[in-house]
């Protein structure tokens, strides 16, 4: 598994469905560089079981992300037509109607490969023939990208394990707090709580208060 933290987020241009219904041909995260934080997350497939609970949970907290100057972008290896159909399908039928943030198309698997979240992989036999082994879908990868286009946090879950949206918001708060004040955020830190200076005196003072 590649560690992308501290590195430029891999660049791509792909089809996507935006605003819940509009198909665009050349969506890219680059348009947010210098303007927005980005939470870019992968999910295994449209019309599955854990996935709609995650995508709808992100949508329910969309205003919380927007208040943090952060955009949400989802991606899977499904086609734009599959995305579109799923977005039009009511929740009581397993759909995600009402989701408004972009869903990126990664049918050729290049984005999943560049972020190293692809479940399967290409292998070669003794005669040099290429075959795909595993499933052509993505793990539940999530990448927090700062305004400079640098990955600052990544999380990758196996297929059955849904993510915690509140934890994603906590990580944005921690990143933005550090950028603004220069202090570091200890274990279980939440917005509004005391952080600490990255010095021996700072950690000693912080731990003393916890006793």
- Cα distances (Å, whole numbers) of residue 117 to 26, 57, 186, 193: 22, 21, 28, 34
Catalytic residue among 16, 51, 87, 104: 51
The encoded tokens of residue 78 equal: 């499904």
Q: Is position 51 annotated as part of the catalytic site?
A: yes
Query: First-to-last CA distance in the chain?
Result: 38
Q: Provide the annotated active-site residues.
A: 51
């Amino acid at each position: 598994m590649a560690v992308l933290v501290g590195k430029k987020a891999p660049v791509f241009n792909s089809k996507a469905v935006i605003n819940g219904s509009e198909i665009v041909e050349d969506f890219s995260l680059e348009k947010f560089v210098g303007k927005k934080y980005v939470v870019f997350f992968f999910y295994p497939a449209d019309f599955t079981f854990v996935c709609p609970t995650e995508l709808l949970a992100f949508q329910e907290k969309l205003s919380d992300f927007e208040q943090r100057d952060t955009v949400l972008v989802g991606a899977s290896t499904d086609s734009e037509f599959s995305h579109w159909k799923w977005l039009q399908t009511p929740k009581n039928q397993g759909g995600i109607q009402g989701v408004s943030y972009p869903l990126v198309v990664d049918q050729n698997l290049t984005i999943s490969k560049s972020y190293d979240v692809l479940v399967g992989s290409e292998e070669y036999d003794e005669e040099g023939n290429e075959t795909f082994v595993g499933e052509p879908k993505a793990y539940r990868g999530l990448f927090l990208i700062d305004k400079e286009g640098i990955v600052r946090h990544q999380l990758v879950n196996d297929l059955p394990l849904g993510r915690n949206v509140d934890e994603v918001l906590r990580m944005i708060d921690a990143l933005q707090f550090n950028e603004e004040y220069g202090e570091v955020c200890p274990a279980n830190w939440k917005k509004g709580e005391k952080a600490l200076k990255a010095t021996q005196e700072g950690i000693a003072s912080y731990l003393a208060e916890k006793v």
